[in-house]
Amino acid sequence: MSNTGLEGVVVAQTSLSAINGEKGELIYVGYDIDDLARNTTFEEVAYLLWNLRLPNRAELDELERRLAAEYNVGTEIIELLRALPKNSDSMAALRTAVSALALYDPEANDNSDAANRRKAIRLTAKMPTIVAAFDRIRKGQEPIAPRADLATAANFLYMLNGEEANETRIRTMDVALVLHAEHGMNASTFAARVTAGTLSDMYSAVVGALGALKGPLHGGANMRVMESLRTIQESGQEPSAWVHDALGRGERVMGFGHRVYKATDPRATVLRELADQIMQGGEETRWLDLSDKVREAMGTEMEKKGKKIYPNVDFFSASVYTTLGIEMDLFTPIFAISRITGWTAHLFEQYANNRLIRPKADYSGPRGLKVEPIETR
């Protein structure tokens, strides 16, 4: 019997995360995501996913030092980014640059656990540098070199904008990275593990994951949320009327509901609170205000139908990122900057207990056909 989309099929055992969609629960290695988002940093979560425990101060300091030592990508990658068409898709550019990184890594084809752990640090350190450099180059600006004294979130915002961000912005970026770091056997993680299952190298597996994440049904969802918000603003229509009309046409309002969560996406709760902090800090809040109106309108429309539908993390990340001054087409690359930690953690598991992933397919085509001579076909 076929199972379209492999829904409900268990394809692996993992110690990394668990999702309870009915309860709206997400845990990383035993810790609730709400607890982690409020009380840890992205670097601590990276350590947790890679080592299945939180670090002590000395271990965190050492990881931060090792990450900072790998921030730079080298002139070869910068020149590659310069050579790309200025209108290149941002995810295609990231995918291309990550693939090229393998050519300059002498350990690229070493699948030992020690080498893969070093590569995980390199990838996590270099991907923010690539994304920031790509954005500046396409705008006719010079890339800004990373600073070893800044952690991942602060460094990314510095390289992107050319100035240090304030504490609220840094904390918001850091929490967003924590919230997106891992999420079970999603499409990109599965793609990575399928590639690693052939005993291909970690870079190839990550490139496969980036290809899956690029799709609008996966990593591109928050970009589509922002497109909807811009459409509402440009139309001049009241958000409540826009939502009503969109639903009446049978269209989906992006940022609501989730393939897994049937209750509130726990990541959305934390991000909404951060949005409030940004607004209290006197930032430009029109997108956050508009998001709130759309959320209220969706709640009203669903109540009329006797249904409940909740905003997901993509709904709030769209307006939060835009308020931070981040270009819309960088939303998915930022997703990748975070998720590289979860991908590589899954790859450690896959390589440690590998079996080629080879599901069956039910054949539904014809049988018994006979080849006719080409002259009579």
Say how many CA atoms lie within 13 Å of 43 toward its Cβ: 23
pLDDT tens digits, the chain, 377 residues: what are they?
Answer: 556 767 677 788 999 999 887 787 899 999 999 999 999 999 999 999 999 999 999 999 999 999 999 999 999 999 999 999 989 999 999 999 999 999 999 999 999 999 999 999 999 999 999 999 999 999 999 999 999 999 999 999 999 999 999 998 999 999 999 999 999 999 999 999 999 999 999 999 999 999 999 988 888 878 888 899 999 989 889 999 999 998 889 888 888 876 665 667 788 888 888 877 776 665 667 887 888 899 889 888 888 888 877 888 888 888 888 888 899 999 999 999 999 999 999 999 999 999 999 988 889 999 999 999 999 99
**How many helices and strands (H and E) does the chain possess?**
16, 3
Q: What are phi and psi of 337, to 5 degrees?
A: -55, -35
Tell the CATH superfamily of the 15-217+329-352 domain.
Citrate Synthase, domain 1 (1.10.580.10)
Kindly name the residue from 105, 201, 314, 346 that is annotated as catalytic. Answer: 314
Hey, is 19 helix, strand or coil? strand
Q: Encoding tokens for residue 195?
A: 């590639």
Annotated active-site residue 314? The verdict is yes
Find out whether 45 and 181 touch, Cβ atoms under 8 Å: yes
> Distance (Å, rounded) from C-alpha 226 to C-alpha 6?
30
The domain locations on the chain are 15-217+329-352, 221-323
What is the strand order of the sheet 31-32 is part of?
17-20, 25-28, 31-32
Nearest in space to 225 (alpha carbons), one of 204, 246, 245: 246
Q: 202, 347 in Cβ contact below 8 A?
A: yes
Q: 221-323 in CATH: which number?
A: 1.10.230.10
At 32 the three-state DSSP class reads strand
15-217+329-352 against 221-323: fold identical: no
Which residue is catalytic, options 174, 258, 265, 292?
Answer: 258
